[in-house]
Amino acid sequence: MRDPYDVAVEEGAAPSATVGEASSGVVLLGKYELRKLLGVGAFAKVYHATNVNTGQSVAIKAISKRQAFRAGLVAHVEREISIMRRLHHPHTLKLFEVLASKTKIYFVLEFAKGGELFHKVAQGRISEDLSRLYFHQLISAVRYCHSVGVFHRDLKLDNLLIDENMDLKVSDFGLSALKDHIRPDGLLHTVCGTPAYVAPEMLAKKGYDGAKVDVWSCGVILFALTAGYLPFNDQSLAVMYRKIYRGQFRFPRWTSPELRSFLSRLLDKNPETRITVDEIIRDPWFSKGYQEVRVQHKEVVGEQESRGRGLNAFDLISFSSGLDMSGMFMEAGVSYGVERIVSGEKAGNIMGKVEEVAKAEGVMVTKRENEEGAKLEGQKGNLVVVVGIYRLTDKLVVVEAETRERRVGNGARFWEEKLKPELRRLAYKPEAGKANSV
């Protein structure tokens, strides 16, 4: 599947504006003048804009708060902000800042003038030499992402952009996972991605290595660049998945022997024997002309990179997987109950208490990856309350509970009478007899 708020025009979408439409004269929040609409999706629009003070070209992704909130996409927005803030590589798209109005969230992004790599391939296959250059840049970015604990999980031609210097930029990190999301078995388990690019082990739904599924997707991309079409494609999704699971594809006659060998290692259906990113660097086809991009790593320790200093408002948004993002998504005129408790307990212990209370009240719990929160629903499927656990310091977390109702109802009562009293017992007490609540 596509990024849930991807801006490319989706089938069946009814955009209210036309791609390419000029928007000159509109100044966003006094900082960016909108120039042209670049893309429209179900939940977002992307514009080319310029900074009114510096003249710098940027891309602005405008996400509807109401639509994202109602579609349950808040976590995707939070995750993309968190991940993009930790990436500092010349071939990953830069996030400059995040802004908000009453109705929209705005990602201010690096502007890639050349558009999607997909459009270049749609015009015909690319030479091996140019494909190798783009693949050098892709692998450099992917290798860097893995080194800082980020697994993209939706690498595809649509998410590879080209800047004015014809350099590649990896974008759309909304479906990415962090090392923090890996379960005790050492694997990720959320099935996501785009059908034609998804790895066979993800289809098996038994858990997968995030780095290895990214390598598979890179193999699909390289095949498409040099062949002009995707290796696995069929009008029937079931047939396409069967081909992927069996690793069935054919090389075009013009593929060189060295490239065939390399692609076979990338598109190895067995993740255990599939080539790794470090092995890619040493492959004869790949290594020709390759120059490693040197990037100065900024220390990132899970969600604790703000350790040792005070947190400002933007840190609270960007240095965790969503700490206190709720205010950015509130609809005008609608009262949502949001409360937060600071605790020194481990996330697992907090979630254990949440599950204990929910079970006693007959409330179903659907946990997020890595015990960082949960959605609690009644027996009839009605939403009761959403609980999030976010890292504040190396010793403290914030427990956020949100009831999404237009008036006081079962969710508010469950929180006030059942769950809140139990969680307050876990609140951080800096001094004896004193609990700290925010």
Q: Where in the sequence numbering do the catalytic residues fall?
A: 154
How far apart, in whole angstroms, are the C-alpha atoms of residue 397 and residue 343? 5
Q: Which of 61, 60, 107 is nearest to 81 (CA)?
A: 107
Chain-centroid distance of CA 28 in Å reads 25
379: CB partners within 8 A, 6+ apart:
362, 363, 364
Q: Which residues of 251-277 are buried (b: 16+ CB within 10 A; e: fewer)?
A: beeebeeebeebbebbbbeebeebbeb
Q: Which of 171, 151, 120 is nearest to 216 (CA)?
A: 151
418 with 351: CB under 8 angstroms?
no
Taking the chain, what is the end-to-end CA distance rounded to the nearest angstrom? 38
User: What is the DSSP annotation of 189-226?
Assistant: ----S-GGG--HHHHTTS-B-HHHHHHHHHHHHHHHHH
User: Three-class SS of residue 143?
Assistant: helix
- Between strands 397-403 and 383-391, the pairing is antiparallel
Question: What does R_g of the chain's alpha carbons equal in angstroms?
Answer: 23
Residue 198, token pair as written in the block: 């998804």
How far apart, in whole angstroms, are the C-alpha atoms of residue 362 and residue 414? 11
List phi, psi (to 5°) of 261: -65, -45
342: CB partners within 8 A, 6+ apart:
392, 396, 397, 398, 399, 427, 428, 436, 437, 438
Alpha helices, DSSP H only, in 293-346?
A: 313-318
How far apart, in whole angstroms, are the C-alpha atoms of residue 373 and residue 369? 8
E-assigned strand segments in 275-378: 337-343, 364-367, 373-377
How far apart, in whole angstroms, are the C-alpha atoms of residue 39 and residue 116? 11
Which amino acid belongs to residue 142? V
Chain-centroid distance of CA 101 in Å reads 22
